[in-house]
Amino acid sequence: MTEAALWANARVFAIAVTYGGRQLLLQRVLAGLAAQGVTKAIVVDNGASWPVSATLAGQYSAFVEVVCMSHNVGSAGGYAAGIQRALDLGAEFIWLLDDDNEPVEGCLARLMEAYADEAHTTPRDRLAVLAFRPDHQADVAAGVPVRYVNARPDSFCGFHVLDIPYKLWRRTPWGRPHGKVPSRVRLDVAPYSGLLMPRELLRNIGVPDQRLVLYADDTEYSWRITARGGRIVLVAAAQLTDLEQSWGLKARFPTSFAGWLDGGADLRAYYAMRNQTYVDLHVRSHSKRTTTINRVVYRFILWLHARNDSRQARYALLDRAMVDGRAARLGVAPEFPLP
């Protein structure tokens, strides 16, 4: 049996974290996982408003195991609990999904094929592969040159002053991306959604940092892979469909600044900005001076947008989030308890 065939028969555990009243979304995702080749699904009940254990036990029997949290502990705490349980049960690979990520037919098989191929040059304890969501990997989907897909070192919220000329150029008819989607793209960081990792890698990177609660916790977590010399490979042929549109999609707003000022509830904006600031300044920064320059310029542009759009109140919240992230004040903020 070939090495690829061995991995195709590996014990793959899918992990989904659910909360609130998202029963129908989760059930649609779970319905197709066995056909994908998943051995077992771990569902983390993160403060859901419906009887998760009783409902899923009746529908899926032993295929689904539910980990019950006493309350909503955020995505970081939820995935940490799910990952640990999957490892305890002997998972060889762990596939992270949101509760609204529906894998397209053949998604897991294509991820495993790509993993087998990439493992010829990268050790198992340093390699992860990622399913493709065109809405979320918008630059890849648009054919942006690969060198611009990952943020430059010492960027802030994905912004770097050296990228300004290209960002202006790509808004012109001549600079608009028209490239093809690469079959595989090497990423510096990745979302939880669609990330497939072997047991050996998880032993190296541990579980998500629960102090981050939610938003950018996946950035910090996946950065541990590449910061240790590992690789994250996005596989375009392995696709996920989002059953619900995310609040922070780039395509919904003309600029990232508009997304911060107009997108989502204050709770989401606060944690996303606070944690991104923390990660950029305390985790990913190589040159404090360069990161500071980018942060100051980004903050000024954000302030200009807020003034022009009469969004000063949202700007004040984001500014406070940046201050908290810079000071590493993490955990659940008293003003923003999780629902």
Alpha helices in the chain (DSSP H): 3-8, 23-31, 33-36, 52-60, 74-88, 107-118, 138-142, 164-169, 199-205, 217-227, 256-262, 266-278, 288-308, 312-326
Query: How far, in Å, CA of 155 to CA of 159, rounded?
Result: 5
Length of the chain equals 339
User: In the predicted model, is pLDDT for residue 4 greater than 70?
Assistant: no
- On average, the pLDDT of the chain sits at 92
- Residue 68 pairs in a beta bridge with 45
Query: How far, in Å, CA of 200 to CA of 125, rounded?
Result: 5
Portion of the chain with pLDDT greater than 70, in percent: 96
**DSSP string of 219-245, one letter each residue:** HHHHHHHHHTT-EEEEEEEEEEEESS-
Beta-carbon contacts of 95 under 8 Å, excluding residues fewer than 6 positions away, are 12, 13, 14, 15, 38, 108, 111, 194, 195, 196
Residues 269-298: pLDDT tens digits?
A: 999 999 999 999 999 999 999 999 999 999
User: In the predicted model, is pLDDT for residue 328 greater than 60?
Assistant: yes
Residues 166-187: pLDDT tens digits?
A: 888 888 888 888 778 889 999 9
Cβ neighbours of 282 (radius 10 Å): 15
**Nearest Cα residue to 131 out of 197, 38, 198, 208:** 197
User: In the predicted model, is pLDDT for residue 200 greater than 90?
Assistant: yes
Domain boundaries, the chain: 3-143+180-242, 250-326
pLDDT for position 142: 83
* Helix (H) / strand (E) containing 72: none
Mapped onto helix, strand or coil, the DSSP state of residue 70 is coil
pTM: 0.93
Topology (CATH level 3) of domain 3-143+180-242: Spore Coat Polysaccharide Biosynthesis Protein SpsA; Chain A (3.90.550)
pLDDT for position 249: 58
Which residue did the predictor score with more confidence, 232 or 179? 232
Residues 59-111: pLDDT tens digits?
A: 998 999 999 998 999 999 999 999 999 999 999 999 999 999 999 999 999 99
DSSP structural state of residue 156: B
* Helix (H) / strand (E) containing 11: none
User: In the predicted model, is pLDDT for residue 137 greater than 90?
Assistant: no
Beta-carbon contacts of 215 under 8 Å, excluding residues fewer than 6 positions away, are 75, 268, 271, 272, 275, 276
Confidence of residue 307 (pLDDT cuts 50, 70, 90): very high
User: In the predicted model, is pLDDT for residue 3 greater than 60?
Assistant: no
**Mean pLDDT confidence for 301-316:** 95
User: In the predicted model, is pLDDT for residue 5 greater than 70?
Assistant: no
Portion of the chain with pLDDT greater than 90, in percent: 80
**Mean pLDDT confidence for 205-215:** 97
pLDDT for position 207: 97
**DSSP string of 326-337, one letter each residue:** HTT--S--TTS-
